Amino acid sequence: MRVLGWLGVIVTIGVLLVGALLLLLIRSSKDTVLLGQALRELVTRAKVLGLSNRDIANVNSLLEYAEYDMALSILATQLYEHTIFLDADYYQLLQSVAEKLKLPEQEYTFVKELVI
């Protein structure tokens, strides 16, 4: 009888752990979707601001494979290299995405010089 009691406790703990893991996965998945959407918004706006189709295509190909950190880093580099001027809202979105991706500041803060 005691074995069955302990077994019930172990099963209950297992079910709780699986539920918690699923919740984390759902949150992580949702965060990933939101990051992807924010990055696509940055790319769309970069195109409107004048970034070349080639650069846009390169970044979009990285986004297809969820290479978000590399995509943002390349986007920032290309904006800077082509001296594409940005508004404060654009930079705030870029910075927010970079922080969520835990990118080192040196990979994106240089574009702050382009904010007008």
pLDDT at residue 10 in the model: 65
**Alpha-carbon distance 26 to 62, whole Å?**
23
Q: Looking only at Cα atoms, what is the longest distance across the chain?
A: 75
Domain limits at 90?
32-114
Instruction: Read off the amino acid at residue 50.
Output: G
Between helix 2-49 and helix 88-100 the angle, nearest 10°, is: 150
Residue 10 lies in a domain: no
**Alpha-carbon distance 108 to 100, whole Å?**
13
Residue 22 lies in a domain: no
Residue 99 lies in a domain: yes
Q: Which residues contact 42 (CB under 8 A, 6 or more apart)?
A: 72, 75, 90, 93, 94, 97
Which pLDDT tens digits describe the chain residue by residue (116 residues)? 455 566 666 666 655 555 555 444 444 556 777 889 999 999 999 999 999 999 999 999 999 999 999 999 999 999 999 999 999 999 999 999 999 899 999 999 999 999 99
- State the total domains in the chain: 1
pLDDT at residue 34 in the model: 86
* Cβ proximity of 13 and 46 under 8 Å: no
Residue 2 lies in a domain: no
Residue 44 lies in a domain: yes
pLDDT at residue 33 in the model: 78
**Alpha-carbon distance 39 to 90, whole Å?**
11
pLDDT at residue 53 in the model: 97
Phi, psi of 34 (to 5 degrees): -65, -40
pLDDT at residue 37 in the model: 92
Phi, psi of 27 (to 5 degrees): -60, -45
